[in-house]
């Protein structure tokens, strides 16, 4: 589980400070991340580490993965006061196939379509654009 997702924290009362940190906790332990301040958006930003980071860089075993990959998050701006943030779960995903279709009022009843019906050839330049758009969407999530 590679990590690399950008986490943006926004809300009232956030400010830049040298003490800002994110504490990540799982059943396997707790780790702390330094954070960046985005002056333009007034948000706190962190690029999430790979899940192996919770294990000192070692790949987790199947048993450790079965125990859960849910991560509790706490934010501090001063090292004293901590704020609970929503939890997240590491997911190991891979894209096997991508089909692009336009849904209109006229064809909406036929969705979802059978996989065999989705085998339409897409021009190469459109594939490149779709892949770039998908990569941007995945990076935001």
Residue 88: per-residue pLDDT: 77
pTM: 0.55
Place of tokens 């901590």: 82
Residue 75: per-residue pLDDT: 93
Q: Where are the domains of the chain?
A: 6-89, 94-141
Query: Pairing state of beta strands 21-26 and 29-34?
Result: antiparallel
Q: Which long-range CB contacts under 8 A does 24-28 form with residues at least 24 apart?
A: 24/54, 24/71, 24/72, 24/73, 25/71, 25/72, 25/73, 25/74, 26/54, 26/68, 26/69, 26/70, 26/71, 26/72, 27/67, 27/68, 28/54, 28/55, 28/60, 28/64, 28/67
Residue 113: per-residue pLDDT: 54
91 CB-near residues (< 8 Å, 6+ apart): 1, 69
Residue 1: per-residue pLDDT: 47
> Digits of tens for pLDDT over the chain (141 positions)?
456 677 888 888 888 999 999 998 877 778 888 899 988 888 899 887 776 766 666 676 766 665 556 788 999 999 899 999 888 776 655 556 666 667 777 776 766 655 554 455 667 777 777 777 777 766 665
Residue 80: per-residue pLDDT: 92
């Amino acid at each position: 589980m590679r990590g690399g997702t950008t986490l943006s924290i926004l809300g009232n009362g956030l400010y830049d400070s040298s003490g800002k940190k994110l504490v990540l906790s799982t059943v396997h332990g707790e780790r702390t991340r330094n954070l960046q301040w985005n002056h333009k958006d007034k948000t706190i930003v962190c690029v999430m580490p790979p899940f192996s980071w919770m294990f000192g860089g070692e790949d987790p075993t199947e048993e450790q993965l079965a125990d859960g990959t849910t991560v509790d998050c706490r934010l501090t701006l001063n090292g004293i006061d901590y704020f609970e943030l929503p939890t997240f779960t590491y997911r190991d995903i891979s894209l096997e196939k991508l089909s692009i279709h336009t849904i209109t009022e006229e064809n909406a009843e036929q969705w979802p379509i059978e996989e065999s019906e989705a085998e339409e050839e897409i021009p190469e330049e459109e594939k490149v654009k779709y892949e770039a758009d998908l990569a941007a969407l995945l990076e935001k999530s």
